[in-house]
Amino acid sequence: MTAKKQTNAFISFFERAGRSTIHGIEEIGNGSVMVLESLYWTFFGFTVKQPVRMNAIIQQMMEIGISAIPIIAMLGGAISVTLAIQGIYTLRIFGAESHVTAGLAFVVVREFAPMITGILVAGRSGSALAARIGTMKINQEIDALKVMGISPVRYLVAPPLIAMMVMVPCLSIMSAVFGLFMAGLYINHDLGISLSAYTDQIIDILKVEDILQGLGKSAIYAIEIAVIGVVNGASVSGGAEGVGKATTRSVVQAISAIIVTAMVIVILSTV
């Protein structure tokens, strides 16, 4: 009897694992199709008189980008100052604290600015996208779009996707600049290095490839946030509670995706 129960639990475990895997693959497939479809509508929508509307993109840019500037600047500054403090503390052991700028410049521009920006946009805008699409789905607004002959992907997915692909790299640059400036103020205070000397050091150390790496990562994070938000919103069922669950799931998945992607890229590009 016990052996039979164990066998059943064993089968049940693999059944659940298999189902989750299929679900995951299905969601990745749906997300990929939505990205391709969004690109189609963006570049070829005008050929069938259904362009992606510029005012919708600008509105999304305002929501995703402009209104996020204060919080991203504040967190970018806080993280960079923390890194500067920890860097000076660690390097002081070896008497090399004056080299803190090099590590700081690389880690902020290549990793932390894109990552913090991505995480914040996932929390603010990815979740809002999932909630919006989920609510529209349960209110039959997406069906209404379809029956009106308006592609939901063109109307709902393409504008935030494009807006995120533009705004996340811009916010990431702003976060890096503001963060390095704040860290420079701390370094000036702690080590007595002037801001102009600090700026010269950063300009000497950073190469174009470092900046491009940061921007490239930001663009990838933007796609991940948009796709995860849309896929979770589109899979909503069960009313308001379902919307809440999808919103939470989209934030968790987007942040996880950003961190794992950062690790994979840094392994591929650095090791």
Partner 1 sequence: MSDVAASEPTKVIEVEDLVAHYGDREILKGVTMDVRDGEIMVIMGGSGSGKSTLLRFLMALEMKTSGRMKILGQDIDTLTSREFTDLRKKLGVAFQGGALFSSLTVGENIMLPLYEHTDLDAMTMEIMARMKLEVVELGGFENLMPAELSGGMIKRAAFARAVVMDPRILFCDEPSAGLDPAVASALDDLILNLRDAMGMSIVVVTHELESAFKIADRITILDRGHILMIGTVEEVRKSSNERIYNLLNRIPDNENLDPDEYLARLTGEDATTWSEPL
Q: Which of 52, 119, 153, 255 binds partner 1 (CB under 8 A)?
A: 153
Q: Applying CB under 8 A, what is the total number of residues that bind partner 1?
A: 39
State the minimum distance, in angstroms, from the CB of residue 203 to partner 1: 45
Range 100-111 burial, b when 16+ CB lie within 10 A, else e: bbbbbbbebbbb
Query: Which of 143, 200, 204, 209 touches partner 1 by CB under 8 A?
Result: 143
Question: From residue 217 to residue 236, what is the string marking binding to partner 1 with x (rule CB under 8 A)?
Answer: -------------xx--xxx
Per the CB < 8 A criterion, the answer to whether 146 and 248 are in contact is no
The total of other beta-carbon atoms located within 10 Å of residue 74's CB is 13
Site for partner 1 in 198-217 (CB under 8 A): none
Contact set for partner 1, span 64-123 (CB under 8 A):
none
- Under the criterion CB under 8 A, does residue 164 sit at the interface with partner 1? no
Token representation of residue 101: 């700028």
Stretch of 79-87, 98-106, 114-122, 130-138 contacting partner 1, by CB under 8 A: 130-138
CB 206 within 8 A of CB 215: no
Query: Taking CB under 8 A as the rule, does residue 27 contact partner 1?
Result: yes
Residues 6 or more apart in contact with residue 251 via CB below 8 angstroms: 122, 123, 126, 127
Per the CB < 8 A criterion, the answer to whether 225 and 168 are in contact is yes
**Shorter beta-carbon distance to partner 1: residue 18 or 263:** 18
When asked if residue 179 is in the footprint of partner 1 (CB under 8 A), the reply is no
133 binds partner 1 (CB under 8 A): yes
Tell me which of 66, 144, 212, 260 binds partner 1, using CB under 8 A: 144
Rounded-to-integer distance, Cα 190 and Cα 64, Å: 36
- Please say which residue, 81 or 252, places its beta carbon nearer to partner 1: 252
CB of 38 to partner 1, least distance (A): 10
State yes or no: residue 15 binds partner 1 (CB under 8 A): no
Position among 39, 81, 107, 150 found at the interface with partner 1 (CB under 8 A):
150
CB of 30 to partner 1, least distance (A): 4
Q: Where are the beta strands (DSSP E) in the chain?
A: none
CB 236 within 8 A of CB 246: yes
Region at 236 (left for phi over 0; alpha for psi -120 to 50; beta for the rest):
beta
Contact 52, 84 (CB under 8 A): no
Per the listing, tokens 């070829």 go with 44
For residues 229 and 3, give the distance between their C-alpha atoms in angstroms, rounded to a whole number. 43
Which one, 156 or 176, has the nearer CB to partner 1? Answer: 156
Smallest separation, CB 127 to partner 1 (Å): 17
**What does the binding site for partner 1 look like in residue numbers (CB under 8 A)?**
23, 26-27, 30, 33-34, 48-50, 133, 135-137, 139-144, 146-150, 152-153, 155-157, 230-231, 234-239, 241-242
